[in-house]
Structure formats: C-alpha cells, structure tokens
Amino acid sequence: MDRTAAQNTASSSLGRLYPPIEPFDRRRLDRGDGHNLYVEQCGNPHGRPVIVLHGGPGGGCSPMMRRFFDPGHWRIVLFDQRGCGWSTPQASVERNTTADLVGDIRAIAAALDLEPAVLFGGSWGATLALAFAQAHPHAVSALVLRGVFLGRQAELDWFYGGGAGRFWPDLWARFIGPIPLAERGDLIAAYHRRLFSGDRAAELRHAQDWMAWENALAGMDTMSSGTAPPDYARAFSRLENHYFTNSCFLKEGQLLRERHRIEHLPAVIVQGRYDMVCPPISAWDLAQGWARADLRIVPASGHALTEPRITTELVRAMQEMAAG
C-alpha cells in the first residue's frame, strides 16, 4: 500500500493505527566509542520530524511503532538505543548512560537535520525524552509521552520493592523465587549479580525471570509470561538492570526539578489509569503546574503501548498535532 492510500485509510478511522510501512532509509551511525546505532526513517522525507524513543532501557524498536503516525505528514525516525535491537555491541553496558543516549539523539538529529523535532516516547522512552528536552530544549518542538517514568527511587521501590507485588502476589513470588532470602532486601542488586555473572547460561535464565515480571504486569490482563528469544531477553534485562542499578544516571528528582526548562513546549501525556509498571502519580506530578501539558488519563488501561485505548489515544494525539 502506498503512502497516499495509507493516509486515506487512516483518515476515516480516527485513532486507529496506520497500515504497515517500510523505511525509505536505513543506516548505521558509528558513535566513535565502540557503539554503532541502527537508525531508520519512514513516512514523508520532507515531513515534520518525530523521533521515537523506545522503552526499557533495552527494549528496541519494532515495526509496529511506525504505525502511530500519518506517513503522509510525518518524517518518522526510529533508532535502537545502545546495546539493543540492531545496534551493536548487543547487551553492552560499557559507555551506556543516560548522558550517552542524550548525545546519541543529538547526533542523529544533526546527521538527519531534524531539529526541532517532536519526541514520542513511553515508559523509559518518556524518561529519555524529558532528559533530552531538558538538555536541549531548542532541539524539541513538542513531546508526546506515555506511561511516565521519572527515574525516582520511589518508582523503583514500587516495582522491585514489593509494592506492585501486593496486587500480583503469585507473580511476585515467581520473580523473587530464584533469589535467596538473604538477598531479597535489594532485588535489583541481587539480579545484577546474576545478570552480570559471566555465566551465560545463568544470565539467560535470570534474564527470562526479570523480563517475565515486567511483561506480566504491562497490560490490564496478565500478559503471557512465556519465554522471550534468549539474546533479546539478555540484552533487555542487562540494560534495564544496569540503568536501575545506577538510578538511571539521574539525580533524585532531576526531571521534575528541571521541568522549567521545557515548560514553553506543548506536551501530551497519555497515562493508563491502572498502570502497574509506572503508576499514574508520576504523570500527575509531571503535569501539575505545566500549563502546556495535556494529561490524558485513559480508563480501563494499563502500561502497554499495545493496549487498545492507549494506542487510540496516542494515534489521536499525533493526528491532532498534525492538524494543528
């Protein structure tokens, strides 16, 4: 299906994903420090740029992420963050910090002449969007955020300290099961020792356990806790654990404290009412006092990008931005 047909199909179905598209450009960006990034562009080469920031850290992009945008209007840029997806070296945590990722976005924007661009990110992607926008506010025209995670200790404590486990005690028991009682006071540290043990078989096994806990809570209905492809699971779990071990390489409360740097920018914040991974309080805290922020709390929805109401609201937000 060509771009015109895709645009016409979606225009009659407000809020629905656009048909699948293929990139018009795929490239590698060598960052000169051992990391090589996969970058792709879709949609209109002369359209308004939007940079998609995937979650995790370590989640990588997927073809489905291209479909939130009218390909006749938007120049859609996706990339796999350091160590995951098609970027190399896979699962590497060397020179892999939030500041490094912010630098990568700036390098991509410069290489493709994107500034200013809309930033579209969910969960960790929302964290990274805020960090980049606060560091380079002139390079951003707007933000569309989903399932906000601010990198605060309270958020990590909620998910890895037993808070979410009070709602899903059976799944929590499965997550803490592989960890001896003496180490359960700090599960991030306990899993870090196992995910970076040097024993690849053990790393793969514990990577599946780490991923299963998050995946199971991502949707309103318990999602499949089946195993993920081994290399993907290892990259995702190592990278996410690495960032959480280091408090996401952010100072406590930094993204709220520095919000004044981006308050001139428009933002749409899409938040599931029953998000168990990133509870709504973070989106609420971010939006309070930000006059140009439009907080949309979506009923009967959790965390996942693929939840029907979340998907619909994100597509609608991008359609409204394109029309405005």
The band of 225, judged by pLDDT with boundaries at 50, 70 and 90, is low
Q: What is the mean pLDDT of residues 203-207?
A: 97
CATH number for the segment(s) 3-152+249-323: 3.40.50.1820
Place of tokens 């990034």: 37
Q: What is the mean pLDDT of residues 306-315?
A: 96
pLDDT over 60 at 38, yes or no: yes
Domains of the chain, residue spans:
3-152+249-323, 154-248
The band of 224, judged by pLDDT with boundaries at 50, 70 and 90, is low
What digits encode the pLDDT tens for the residues 120-168?
999 999 999 999 999 999 999 999 999 999 999 999 999 999 999 999 9
Greater confidence (10 vs 104) lies with 104
Secondary structure in 3-state letters for the chain: CCHHHHHHHHHCCCCCCCCCCCCCEEEEEECCCCCEEEEEEEECCCCEEEEEECCCCCCCCCHHHHHHCCCCCEEEEEECCCCCCCCECCCCCCCCCHHHHHHHHHHHHHHHCCCCEEEEEECHHHHHHHHHHHHCHHHEEEEEEECCCCCCHHHHHHHHCCCHHHCCHHHHHHHHCCCCHHHCCCHHHHHHHHHCCCCHHHHHHHHHHHHHHHHHHCCCCCCCCCCCCHHHHHHHHHHHHHHHHCHHHCCCCHHHHCHHHCCCCCEEEEEECCCCCCCCHHHHHHHCCCCCEEEEEECCCCCCCCCHHHHHHHHHHHHHHHHC
Contact call for residues 74 and 48 (beta carbons, < 8 A): yes
Q: What is the mean pLDDT of the chain?
A: 94
Sign of CA dihedral 174, 177, 181, 183: negative
Percent of the chain exceeding pLDDT 70 equals 94
* pLDDT value of position 5: 33
* pLDDT value of position 219: 86
Q: What is the mean pLDDT of residues 164-176?
A: 97
Amino acid of residue 50 = V
Residues 6+ apart with CB under 8 A from 159: 214, 277
pLDDT over 60 at 11, yes or no: no
pLDDT over 80 at 4, yes or no: no
What digits encode the pLDDT tens for the residues 239-261?
999 999 999 999 999 999 999 99
pLDDT over 50 at 9, yes or no: no
Greater confidence (315 vs 15) lies with 315
* pLDDT value of position 228: 85
Sign of CA dihedral 312, 315, 321, 324: negative
* pLDDT value of position 223: 55
* pLDDT value of position 3: 28
pLDDT over 70 at 6, yes or no: no
Of 245, 177, 249, whose CA–CA distance to 213 is shortest?
A: 177
What digits encode the pLDDT tens for the residues 55-93?
999 999 999 999 999 999 999 999 999 999 999 999 999
* pLDDT value of position 117: 98
* pLDDT value of position 220: 79
Give catalytic residues, as residue numbers. Answer: 123, 275, 303
What's the CA gap between 216 and 221, in Å, rounded?
A: 8
pTM for the whole structure: 0.94
